[in-house]
Structures are given as C-alpha cells and as structure tokens.
Amino acid sequence: MTRETRDFKRKPKSGPSQTKSHFSGKKSCPFSGPDAIAIDYKDARTLSRFVTERGKIMPRRITYVTPKAQRGLSIAIKRARYIALMPYVSK
C-alpha cells in the first residue's frame, strides 16, 4: 500500500472572470437623496416598477429601497390596488 500525496491548496483562477473587474457601484434608494421620487399612491407608473409581473411587491434586496421607504411603498401599492389604479393580479 502506497500513499499518494495530494495537493489541496487552491490554485488561482484564470479565465475571463478574473481578468475583468466586476465593480458595479453601490445601489441607492430611489426615494432618498436630493433627486428623490415621492411615494404617491396615485402614481401607478412609478409603483409598477416595484411590483412583479404576477402582482407581488418586490423585496428590498432586489429594489435597494430603504426600510422606511419600503414600508411606505407597500402601503402606497396597497392603496392603489384598493382604489383600482393597480391590479391585484396580472394576467
């Protein structure tokens, strides 16, 4: 019985993923800052950016909205649905 020595050290990756830098910058909340959009339940076009095709409200990790703005956004979407400016479910 002979024992083989194995090299478990990680080898540096090579290829197209290591040659380019994938820095995309920090995403910011569209509802905060100097050029902020106001959250308004009557603005269905803006609210529809934060709703999926199926009518579900998108999570913060996808939309990069602050917690306070996410709460206001969900309330505005629910109000717009209630007065029939936005659909509950899309076809």
- Give Cβ neighbours of residue 80 (< 8 Å, ≥ 6 apart): 41, 42, 44, 47, 86
30-63 pLDDT per residue, tens: 898 888 999 999 999 999 999 999 999 999 999 9
Contact 76, 41 (CB under 8 A): yes
Phi, psi of 5 (to 5 degrees): -90, 135
Query: Is 14's pLDDT higher than 70?
Result: no
**Residue 10: what pLDDT?**
72
Domains of the chain, start order: 38-91 (4.10.640.10)
- pTM of the predicted protein model: 0.70
